[in-house]
Structure 1
Amino acid sequence: MSSYVKYKKTIKSYILPALREVQVQKLIPQSVQSLYTKMRKWGPAPKTIQSVHSVLHGAMEHAVKWNLVARNVIDQVTCPSVEQYEMQPLDLEQARHLLAVVRGSRLDAVLTLALATGMRRGEVLALR
């Protein structure tokens, strides 16, 4: 998925429903912080909220550059952090078992490639 498509989806799914009626000059940090708090309660992952934060910040940077607003109010909003976790790679026995389970299925080639090369999901799926 291209960056443009991701940004468009973020705007359409999260930003417009919450802030459609707010003029850019009247946007205040509390409104955005309230949006993030509501989003955390109803479910999107913190990474999704960070995407919203990033899109809003970029949009407000343009508004500052174009003299629509004096400052970027998103700078004053605290974005939830994403928990970091350590990747747990499969050991040799787990990898063999996984390949045995998917042998002959449509996942066989994909998982064999991923395990043999260390490619990530997005990299494997981007292959044609």
Structure 2
Amino acid sequence: MTFSEYLDYWLDNHSKSNTAPRTHENYHYMITQHIKPILGHIKISKLQSSHLQEYYAQKLSGGKLDGNGLSAQSVKHHHRLISKALKDAMRWEFIIRNVAAVITPPKTKKVEMQTWDNEQVKAFLEAAKSSPYFPIYFTAINTGMRRGEVLGVRWQDIDFDNKVIYVRQSLQEVKKVGLTFKEPKSGKSRSITVTPTFTKEMKKVYKQQLENKLLFGQAYHDLDLVFAQKNGKPIQPTEMARNYLMVVESCGLPYIRFHDLRHTHATLLLQQGVHPKVVSERLGHSTIGITMDTYTHV
């Protein structure tokens, strides 16, 4: 069996049923576009550590379609995928050893995190007030939830009396499938306490949604989503991303990604003296160590 044939087998018999659709899609892309063209012809039993080391060096120097090299982080993802696939091959007795286990992947540089300060957050929210996505931006900044988590939150997930929002599902976009819902990244739900200002803002959203339901009648797609299109269907992340960029440019702030609103939330909390354990739980990190490592600059 060639490495290419094995990777096809692994994708069909393991990845498809054991990973999230978006993750499987990413694995499929890495394997078909990068790994198979270079390593696919080698018999899996003849694959050597030196083959992988040469592959990583090649990708770092010119792995992109335009001839430029891939980042060390991207090559690290390739290494993790290859190592995982070979570990499973050992388990299924296709091979007797995992040649990726003895290789050290490329060292990645820690990129300085981009966040806004309190005044910049106020300026952004002020500029975003006329945007139909304002409640989404407001939620991301005030809860530290990931984009998919914000877009996946339902009315049943908000406890107005106790001012708590529960993160139980996440919206994701998958090619050939479209928008789907999955478990949060950590695989388990979490709760986030919110302010009276936040619940007041959500009640405005609820009132507007009731008007939309009356307007659309039977044509309204009621998925219980807090943030939805006027007809109740899920928000298109790409549409929102365009609007987000437009708002940031309109107020002259340094550009940060939508995901950096999550980092901004955590940074502001830590600067105010909130205990890292509390911040870790709000963000849904599996350990406080991840939070401490991510926000060492604070």
Aligned pair in 2 of structure 1 residues 123, 48: CA closer, same or farther (>3 Å)?
Answer: farther
CA 1:69–1:47: 2 relative to 1, 3 Å = same
String of CA shifts for 1:57-106, please: whole Å, max 9, x gaps.
Answer: 11111222233222111012220133334545422101011223333235
TM-score by length of structure 1 reads 0.81
Are 1:100 and 2:126 matched, yes or no? Answer: yes
2:86 corresponds to 1:60: yes
- For structure 1, the 5+ residue unaligned runs are none
Q: Which amino acid is the alignment partner of residue 42 of structure 2?
A: V
- Output the CA distance in 2 between the equivalents of 1:40 and 1:46: 7
Kindly provide the amino acid, as one letter, of the partner of residue 26 in structure 1: K
Equivalent pairs counted in the alignment come to 128
Bigger radius of gyration = 2
Which one has more relative contact order, counting CA pairs under 8 Å at least 6 apart?
Answer: 1
Q: Which amino acid aligns with 1:40?
A: L
TM-score, with length taken from structure 2: 0.39
Residue in structure 2 matched with residue 81 of structure 1 by the alignment = 107
The 1:10–1:106 alpha-carbon spacing in structure 2 relative to 1, beyond 3 Å, is: farther
Task: Kindly indicate which of the two structures has a greater share of residues assigned to helix.
Answer: 1
Aligned AA (1:76): V
Shift of 1:3: 2.5
Q: Please report how far the alpha carbon of residue 40 of structure 1 lies from its aligned counterpart in structure 2 after TM superposition.
A: 1.5
The verdict on how the C-alpha distance between 1:109 and 1:46 changes in structure 2, with shifts beyond 3 A counting, is: farther
One of 7, 12, 32 as aligned partner of 1:12: 32
For 1:37, the equivalent position in structure 2 comes to: 57
Q: Distance in 1 between matches of 2:132 and 2:58?
A: 40
Q: Does 1:27 align with 2:27?
A: no
- Tell me the secondary structure at the aligned position of residue 104 of structure 1: coil
The answer for the alignment partner of 2:16 in structure 1 is none
Letter in 2 for 1:80: P
- CA distance in 2 between counterparts of 1:46 and 1:121 reads 25
Q: Percent identity?
A: 30
C-alpha separation between the residues in 2 aligned to 1:35 and 1:101?
Answer: 47
| AA partner of residue 2 (structure 1) | R
Do the aligned partners of residues 46 and 95 (structure 1) sit closer, same or farther apart at CA in structure 2, a change above 3 Å counting?
A: same
Which position in structure 2 is the counterpart of 1:111? 137
